[in-house]
Amino acid sequence: AEHQHARYNPLRDDWVLVSAHRVKRPWQGQLEKPPPEDVPRWDPNNPLCPGATRANGEVNPQYEGTFVFPNDFPALQPDAPEPDDSDHPLFRAAPARGVCKVMCFHPWSDLTLPLMSLPEIRAVIDAWAELATELGASYPWVQIFENKGAMMGCSNPHPHCQVWASSFLPNEACLEDRTQRQHLSQHGVPMLLEYAEQEARRKERLVVENADWLVVVPYWATWPYQTLLLPRRHVCRLQDLSDSERDNLASIMQRLLIKYDNLFEVSFPYSMGWHGAPTGPYLEEDCRHWQLHAHYYPPLLRSATVRKFMVGYEMLAQAQRDLTPEQAAERLRSLPEVHYKKRAE
């Protein structure tokens, strides 16, 4: 806990430098502004609200649950032309096609997932699974991700996520496909299934658990309070989850996100996303090496106003963290599971 050392990340086949003593250094750097607490429940000028007009002139329905619509500014489009042929191997391009969708979690702008009810969170999970099935019927990769908070580049406070389906496997998917395939070949068991069993037994990095899921600060975590959400049984894709697993997923997500908010008593920023077996043409292939999982990458380090910056050494050498995963897990584990905004109710 007091001496620097490197830890191996088998999922990414790289290393992270752990330097726990650095968290004690004085900070005179940038201070972030806490997120606003006065977000209106409904704003006719907010393009994600029910009944609001979006940038393309379309009017949202008066939705009462989840609402999915095509991204008005998509990074991927289904009809993009082929790039020109390269005249040199150092200047290669490849076709990139796909679709981008936005999913609103709830009609109210002043709610976030940890403040939603379990049935409302379950509805989000079901909508995720439906989109994964629909888009995965033809696209090899369906990336569900949520950027929460302005600190993580979120341009709108309304509770929502994005779903990008692509005609190719992105870098992280290719990397995880290779490392998980190698692990199954060498050890005869899916990497993250074995890892979940080990963490459930060791408990030192465990944050929350229930009958079907566990959340850990992974042994190789890079971000200060990074977590990994894992199913206990072998399951390849989000759409393969049973009803009870979806119910327990809603519960464990709520518990984790309440702890996140309680850590610094602020709406906790993060980027999260689901990784599972590829789809499209891969649905007919053997993907047993894959294990469904979700990554949470929160940037805050010391307080609601001091974040971890991935610069300098991290950009030019390798990732480095300022407290051990065990210290982070213990702090998260010890937090109450009643949201700080509801303690006085």
Return d(Cα 146, Cα 158) in angstroms, integer. Answer: 12
Residue with tokens 């033809």: 138
Beta bridge partners of 99: 165
Domain ranges, ordered by start, for the chain: 37-81+93-172+183-336
Residue 333 is which amino acid? Answer: R
* Crossing angle of helices 243-264 and 118-136, rounded to 10°: 120
Catalytic residues: 160
CA 273 vs CA 21, 142, 289, 345: distances in Å: 30, 10, 19, 32
Q: How far apart are CA 72 and CA 137, in angstroms?
A: 23
Q: Would you give per-residue pLDDT tens digits along the chain (345 residues)? A: 668 999 999 999 999 999 986 666 666 667 777 777 788 999 999 999 999 999 999 999 999 999 999 999 999 999 999 999 999 999 999 999 999 999 999 999 999 999 999 999 999 999 999 999 999 999 999 999 999 988 888 889 999 999 999 999 999 999 999 999 999 999 999 999 999 999 999 999 999 999 999 999 999 999 999 999 999 999 999 999 999 999 999 999 999 999 999 999 999 999 999 999 999 999 999 999 999 999 999 999 988 888 898 999 999 999 999 899 999 999 999 999 999 999 866
Q: Binding site for UDP-alpha-D-glucose, residues?
A: 22-25, 55, 71-72, 147, 153-155, 162, 308-309, 313-314, 320
The predicted structure's pLDDT at residue 26? 63
pLDDT, residue 172, reads: 98
- 3 state SS for 69-110: EECCCCCCCCCCCCCCCCCCCCCCCCCCCEEEEEEECCCCCC
- How far apart (Å, rounded) are the C-alpha atoms in residues 233 and 292? 10
Annotated binding site for Fe cation: 176, 275, 293, 295
Question: What local confidence, expressed as pLDDT, does residue 161 receive?
Answer: 97
> Which candidate, 83, 29, 5, 18, places its Cα nearest to that of 303?
29
Quick one: pLDDT at residue 211? 98
What superfamily does domain 37-81+93-172+183-336 belong to in CATH? HIT-like (3.30.428.10)
Res 6: pLDDT: 96
Annotated binding site: 22-25, 55, 71-72, 147, 153-155, 162, 176, 275, 293, 295, 308-309, 313-314, 320
Q: Which pairs from 192-195 meet CB under 8 Å and 24+ separation? A: 192/11, 192/230, 192/291, 192/293, 193/233, 193/234, 193/291, 195/230
Q: Considering only CA atoms, which of 78, 50, 55, 76 is closest in space to residue 65? A: 50
